[in-house]
Chain A
Amino acid sequence: MLDLIVIGAGLTGLIAAHTAARAGKQVKIVTKGLGATHWHAGSIDVLGYYPNSATPVQRPLETVRDLTRARPQHPYAILDGTLSDALKNFVALAQELGLPYAGAANDGDNLWLPSPVGAARPTFLAPRAQLAGDLRRPEPMLIVGLRGMRDFYPELIAENLNKQGHRARAAFLPLDLITERHDSNTVHLASALDDPARRMKLAAELKKIFQPGERIGLPAILGLDAHAVALDDLQAQVGAPIFEIPTLPPSVPGVRLTNALRHRLRQLGVRVEINADVIGFHAEKDRVLWIESDASGRPLKHRAEKFLLATGGILGGGINSDHTGKVWEVVFNLPLTTPHDRGEWFRARFFDPAGHPIFRAGVPVNREFQPVDANGGRVYENIWAAGNILAHTDPILERSLEGIAIATGMATARSACNLKP
């Protein structure tokens, strides 16, 4: 019998499975898809904007303390001070995986990284390849695009950076330096740059256009499997600091992080069953005995002592809804916190700083991250919930998506497996 089944293979699920497996537990992941990690920037947002404030957060761990006081039901409040340790554990893990992450030079500050449209993006930890983009650094930037690449616009980035007082200029190189393909996306391009010969061609062209003292921003395509080597190699050949700017999905930095974590899980003997949509479960009294997945056209039962729900919210597919205004959790039909009426789901402006109420829909949990009902009573004794499915937050609006994923993924795995922090 397995100790734990994790449902979902986004960042939350991978971190939770890793935490349990590393402590010697028998763990399996059952998942429909690959999670939202492939869509975002590959960085670790902890808190970018305090709810209803347009001012970016400077020191997120300190501001999180204010947030937890003001909102005792927020997932960060339930974590009860373990956020900071969780992030340290993540940094140590990423180092072990050969995909090092770090924060701002001034410890505890948010980084300010250029977004693909040239806005200053507040994030707490970033892969090494993004760090030289920190907008607190004084060196002027050369943003280099590839002519014909549809997901990266260096002139737009440079213009917006200049408007915000950061010196930047744009340049283009031909796309066929990297690939001859007609239907390439960012992952293909990154894969092509695993090849040293192509990197050499790219480096030679970069050397021609950069001016001494500049740092070079490129789309996040600097290698996939050989990323660490690719980055060092390019910087050494060009002789300038180089940084990646994340692109539209698919996100190469996100893919690298997922791949690295899955590689480690394989080493730890954790199976990841993909394309296994959980379509049912069986409970006796308040204990779930098995879940059932619809895999390869036949239903399959998965038994375990404990189950950890990391299916994501509306984005990940853990929460669904219909035109009558019904909103439900798709695996266990757990009680949800949601607006009562479909008329209350949205605000009139897409960019309303208060966000859209429906995107705060989530599973309410107790202090151990076990789902509860309207009276605060535990629904099942052996179910835990973590990540984007949790109630009382809008992590995309707050820019807290990965912070919540990592910290609650670790905390729930510990809680479920009775591990010490």
Chain B
Amino acid sequence: MMRALPLALLLSVGVPTAQAHDLQYTVTGGQAVVVRLFYPDNTAFSFESYEIYPRDGKLPVQVGRTDAHGRIAFLPDRAGQWRIRTFSADGHGLDFRLTTDATAGLSGSDKPFYERHARIVVGVALILGLFGLLNLYIRKRKRP
């Protein structure tokens, strides 16, 4: 009996240490902000690196890689603005912000002003318009 006492004491001291290595998990549903990243031809920006920072924060709250569909699932823990940086090794990527409200739902994000196809039309029109103006300027300059 007396011999067993030190062993029992040693085991009881060791239990918390052993528990610290016992990784457990829970599964719950939650509201996530899902960002999908894709190229103009709809190819997913899959398995690429991303970082999420709180507004003006220097340390990321989440880092990882996009999934096979190019998605990032983010569960913000408070209302505020978040900065998302994504990058691939060949230099593609984005650096944009989104805002979540008090219920951690999405309430706003940076959006390109024009859609892809509209951009082409607007861009070509702008270029031709600018050169048209330049043409008028050159004519005026050459007029005696």
Say whether A associates with B. Answer: no
